[in-house]
A and B are shown apart, each in its own frame.
Chain A
Amino acid sequence: MDFFLRLFGKEGSSKNIAKERLRLVLVHDRASVSPQVMQSFREEIIGVISKYLDIDTQRMEVDLTNEEDAVALTASIPVRSVRRGL
């Protein structure tokens, strides 16, 4: 069957496999963010969230983690209280 598909020019193209694999590998490669960038990233997140919630910045964790086929931004941010009047 495969032979006939290819004979009639309908073969599954390997370039799409290449593109998909590259896309994933580059997400991982590019996600190696420097500690300085990570620090300012963290500070800005604190700035935004603090407008709405009182958070425990000491116990907060922000990280880029490699999952099986994607990169995830994981943040664990303990909330002390919700600001009143929002």
Chain B
Amino acid sequence: MGIAIVVTSGKGGVGKTTTSANVGTGLAISGKSVVLVDADIGLRNLDVVMGLENRIVYDLVDVVQGYCRLKQALIRDKRYENLCLLPAAQTKDKTAVSPDQMKTLVDELKQEFDYVIVDCPAGIEQGFKNAIIGADEAIVVTTPEVSAVRDADRVIGLLEAEEIKEPKLILNRIRPAMVKRGDMMDIDDVLDILAIKLLGVVPDDDSIVVSTNRGEPAVTQNGSKAGQAYRNIVRRIMGENVPLMSLSVPDEGLFGRLKRLLVGER
């Protein structure tokens, strides 16, 4: 019997899909059998982030409505044969699936896979309710911005009301140089506000854009800092105690500050 983990955030654009793709792929690299479920019906994206968009025949709504068997809709990853994707429907809307149907589906997937990773849509309406109903655990993704942290707080409250115990936080897109200058909230600041356990910190990294362009999750790339952060997160999910990676930056010095002020660079 596997574990279902929902990846959620409240706010859009903070990196839920990227996190789902990297965590799922990372778990598969570690030898676990994994299915990624795109619960964002009407706005599917996990397929393109995984580079599997050309292989879709059936989708989640087809399965739920009985147009195909579950096995027919699962797309096997090109690199890791123990990794599958269940794509969302693109032409339907969130009401095409009920929470009960979603729960049945996730329970069925848990029989087949070690991990069921559910990529939740933004918002807290029906799509959110569908995504969390079958989940045993939750990962809340946020960035160090007031809007994202505020929405994360709301989502944590809703998860706890649904008795998904102890959601864990991924702090995404942290920029160490800005943290050092005191212009970005740090890990401790965000944990202090949200009062939940930390699963990991992912630095803002150009390699995420490049890997998304290619449809190959950064976790597969050894040179990527964000990829390393995701590999650490995966090990923590599997129960290992892995220290946070160092994100320190050298002092920019007087010249660096002068340049930043004059040129206005970040």
Interface residues of A (CB under 8 A from B): 3, 6-9, 11, 13-16, 18-19, 21-23, 25-26, 29-30
Picked from A14, A15, A25, the residue with its CB within 8 Å of the CB of B186 is A15
Determine whether B183 belongs to the interface, using a CB cutoff of 8 Å to chain A: yes
Picked from B149, B254, B258, B261, the residue with its CB within 8 Å of the CB of A22 is B149
Determine whether B189 belongs to the interface, using a CB cutoff of 8 Å to chain A: yes
Determine whether B55 belongs to the interface, using a CB cutoff of 8 Å to chain A: no
Known: A8-B254, A9-B257. 20 other contacts (CB 8 A): A3-B261, A6-B257, A7-B254, A7-B257, A7-B258, A8-B257, A9-B181, A13-B181, A13-B182, A13-B183, A15-B182, A15-B183, A15-B185, A15-B189, A16-B182, A19-B185, A19-B192, A22-B149, A29-B153, A30-B153
Summarize B's interface: helix, strand, loop or mixed: helix
What's the minimum C-beta distance from A85 to chain B, rounded to whole angstroms? Answer: 44
B residues in contact with A8, CB < 8 Å: 254, 257
A residues in contact with B182, CB < 8 Å: 11, 13-16
B residues in contact with A25, CB < 8 Å: 146, 150
Contact (Cβ within 8 A) A29 B149: no
Interface residues of B (CB under 8 A from A): 145-146, 149-150, 153-154, 157, 179, 181-186, 189, 192-193, 254, 257-258, 261
Across the two chains, which residue of chain A brings its CB closest to B157?
A30
Number of A-B residue pairs with CB-CB distance less than 8 Å in the complex they form = 49
Contact (Cβ within 8 A) A26 B193: yes
Picked from A11, A15, A29, the residue with its CB within 8 Å of the CB of B184 is A15
A10 to B167, CA, bound (A): 37
Picked from A11, A14, A16, A23, the residue with its CB within 8 Å of the CB of B193 is A23
A53 to B193, CA, bound (A): 39
Which 9 A-B residue pairs are closest in the complex by CB-CB distance? A13-B182, A14-B183, A15-B185, A22-B146, A18-B146, A15-B182, A26-B153, A19-B189, A7-B257
A9 to B184, CA, bound (A): 15
A26 to B153, CA, bound (A): 8
Across the two chains, which residue of chain B brings its CB closest to A2?
B261
B residues in contact with A13, CB < 8 Å: 181-183
Contact (Cβ within 8 A) B185 A29: no
B residues in contact with A11, CB < 8 Å: 181-182
A residues in contact with B183, CB < 8 Å: 13-15
Picked from B145, B154, B186, B192, the residue with its CB within 8 Å of the CB of A29 is B154
A63 to B64, CA, bound (A): 45
A residues in contact with B154, CB < 8 Å: 29
A73 to B206, CA, bound (A): 48
Contact (Cβ within 8 A) B150 A29: yes
With contacts A25-B146, A25-B150 known, is A18 near B257, CB below 8 A? no
